[in-house]
Amino acid sequence: MRYLKLLEESFPMLVKGLGGTVQVTVISLLIATLLGLFCCLLQISGKKPLQWISQIYIDVMRGVPVMVLSFFIYFGVPNGLGIRLTAVQAGVITLSLNAGAYLSEIFRGGIQAVNVGQMEAARSLGLPYGRAMRKVILPQAVRIVIPSMVNQFIITLKDTSILYAIGLPELMQSGSLIVARTFRSFEVWATVAVIYFIIIFILSKISKRIERRLHNGKGKG
Amino acid sequence: MAKVRVKGLRKDFGSLEVLRGIDLEVREGEVVCMIGPSGSGKSTFLRCLNFLETPTGGEVEVDGYLLTDGKTDLNKIRENIGMVFQQFNLFPHLTVTGNITMAPLDRKKLDKPAAEKKARELLERVGLADKADAYPAQLSGGQQQRVAIARALAMDPDIMLFDEPTSALDPEMVGEVLAVMRQLADAGMTMVVVTHEMGFAREVADRVIFMDGGVIVEQGTPEEIFGHPREQRTIDFLNKVL
C-alpha cells in the first residue's frame, strides 16, 4: 500500500522522465540512421579517401565511451569553441554520433551479405548501379539488417541513462529526483528498471513481428 | 552481319592472365557453344561481352557499338544482351512475375499491365504459366533457371549469353532447361553458350569453340569439332568428357 502511494505521487515525474528518454532516443536514432546510411555509402563507394573518412569516424566512435563523448560535447566543445549547447542537444549529438557509427557497420554488413550474383543479374538487365542497389540489393539487405538494427536501437535507448551525467532530463534523472525526495531507493529504482524493461520488451516483440512478416513465404534464392 | 565482334581480347586478374588474345565474330542468329576445361577462360570471356568484367585490353563490339572505347552507355547496351547465370540469381524478394517485370518496368517504362501480360506470355513459353505468383525459393532449380531465361527475354534482347546454365542443376532437370534453349535457338536468337553439355553443343550449335589456357584452340562446326578434331588438346579434352 505504501508502494502504491509512492507510485501515485511519483507517477507524473516518471512519465515526464520517460517522455524525455523516448524523445531523445527517437530523435537520435533518426539522425543516426541517416548518418549510418551515409557513412555506409562512403564505405562501399570504392573511393579510398571517402572510405578513410568514414573508417576514422567509425573507429573513433567505437573507441570512445559514451559518457566521455557526452562530457566532451557538453562541457568540452562549448569551452573550446564558445558555443552553448543544452543538455538535450548535447545528448542527441552524442547518441547520434555513437549509434550512427555502429549502424553504418550494420548496414555495410547487410549489403555485403547479399550475394554478388544479385548485383550482376540486375546490372546484366541494364539497371544502373543506383537502381540495382535500390530495387534489388537494399530490399534484401533490410531483411538481413533488421535484427541487428533493433539491437542497436535498444542499446541506444539504454545509453540515454548514461546522459544523466550531463543532466539530461530523462527517466534516470526522474528516478534520482524521486529518491532524493522520498529516500525510497529500493522501490524507486526497481520501478525505473521495470519501466525500461517493458519498453524494450515491447520493442523486441515488434521487431520479431516485422521480421516474420518480411520473411513470409520467402527464403533465399 | 556480325552481332558480336571481339578483337585481341585480354583479361588479367592481377598477375593471372585469364584471356590471352581472343578474336571472335558471332553472326546474327548464330548459336555459338564454348567448351573447354575449367579455368580455360570461357566464363570470363562471356562476362566480358556485357562488361560484367572489364577487359584489360582488346576490343569488344556489340550491335555495332564499341564497348571498349569507354564512351558507350553500357546500361543501354546491356538491355540488348540477356544473360543467364549458372546460379540463376533470381531476386528472392520478388515473385516470379516481379522478377520478370522488374527491368521492363524500370528501364523500358512499360506500364504494369503491359509488363505483366508480357511476363505471362514468356512464362507460357518456358512452360511455367502456373508459377507466376510463386517465389523463387518455392521452385526447383530447373524451374528457377527457366524463370531466369524468361527474365532475360523480357527486355527483348537480340543476343543471349548463357554461362553454364545447367551446371548447378540436378541431372533430371537439365533437359527442361536445354529444351527452352533449343526452342530459343530455333526461333533465331543469337546465342553464346558456355556449356559442359556436349550433346547440346553437338545438336544445337552452329559453331563450337574449344578454349584452353585463355585462347581459342580450335573452332568449327559441331561435326568438325566432335567428329574430326585436329588439335591434340581438343582431342584430349573430348576423350575426357565424352
pLDDT by residue for chain B (242 residues), tens only, comes to 799 999 999 999 999 999 999 999 999 999 999 999 999 999 999 999 999 999 999 999 999 999 998 889 999 999 999 999 999 999 999 999 999 999 999 999 899 999 999 999 999 999 999 999 999 999 999 999 999 999 999 999 999 999 999 999 999 999 999 999 999 999 999 999 999 999 999 999 999 999 999 999 999 999 999 999 999 999 999 999 98
Burial A111-149 (b: 16+ CB within 10 A, else e): beebbeebbbbbbbbbbbeebbbebbbbbbbbbbbbebb
Residue B123: inside a domain, yes or no?
yes
The dihedral through the CA atoms of B35, B69, A123, A45 has a sign that is positive
| Chain A hits for B144, Cβ within 8 Å | 221
Is B89 close to A120, i.e. CB distance below 8 A? yes
Nine-digit cell string for A48: 579510398
pTM for the full predicted model: 0.84
Inter-residue contact B156 to B109 (CB < 8 Å): no
Query: Given an 8 Å threshold on Cβ–Cβ distance, is A218 in contact with B92?
Result: yes
Give a yes or no: residue B164 inside a domain. no
Taking the Cβ of residue A124 and every Cβ of chain B, the question of whether any pair is shorter than 8 Å is answered with: yes
Query: C-alpha angle with apex B197: B194 to B201, nearest 5 degrees?
Result: 75
Q: Is A218 on the interface with B (CB under 8 A)?
A: yes
Number of domains observed in the structure of chain B: 1
Residue B113 placed within a domain? yes
Whether B112 is in a domain gets the answer yes
pLDDT over 60 at A82, yes or no:
yes
A132 to chain B, any CB pair closer than 8 A? The answer is no
The confidence score (pLDDT) of residue A216 equals: 60
Q: Is the pLDDT of residue A218 over 60?
A: no
The neighbouring-strand residues paired with B218 are B210
Q: What is the pLDDT of residue A210?
A: 86
Tell me if B92 and A221 make a contact (CB, 8 A cut-off): yes
What are the tens digits of pLDDT across the range A21-66?
Answer: 999 999 999 999 999 999 999 999 889 999 999 999 999 999 999 9
Length of chain A: 221
Q: What is the domain extent for residue B138?
A: 91-155
- At A213 the pLDDT is 82
The alpha carbon of residue A53 is apart from the nearest alpha carbon of chain B, in Å, by: 27
Residue B107 falls inside a structural domain: yes
Q: Please state, for a pLDDT cut of 70, what percent of chain A lies above it.
A: 97
Cα separation values, A198 from A16, A71, A149, A163, B118, Å: 16, 29, 19, 20, 52
- Quote the minimal CA–CA distance from B226 to chain A in Å: 32
Helices (H), A44-170: 48-63, 66-71, 77-81, 87-113, 116-124, 129-132, 138-159
Residues of chain A with C-beta less than 8 angstroms from the C-beta of B136: 221
Answer yes or no: is B51 within a domain.
Answer: no
Query: Which chain B residue is nearest to residue A116, measuring alpha carbons?
Result: B89
pLDDT number for residue A94: 98
Of the two residues B122 and A82, the one the predictor is more confident about is B122
Residue A103 has pLDDT above 70, yes or no: yes
Is B196 part of a structural domain of the chain?
no
d(CA B78, CA B85): 15
| pLDDT of the residue at B55 | 96
pLDDT tens digits along A182-215: 999 999 999 999 999 999 999 999 988 888 887 7
Q: Give the pLDDT confidence score for residue A212 in this predicted structure.
A: 85
State mean pLDDT over A12-24: 96
Instruction: Tell me, yes or no, whether B149 lies in a domain.
Output: yes
Q: pLDDT value at position A219?
A: 46
What average pLDDT does chain A have?
93
Those residues whose C-beta lies under 8 Å from the C-beta of residue B200, and which sit 6 or more positions away, are B33, B178, B181, B182, B193
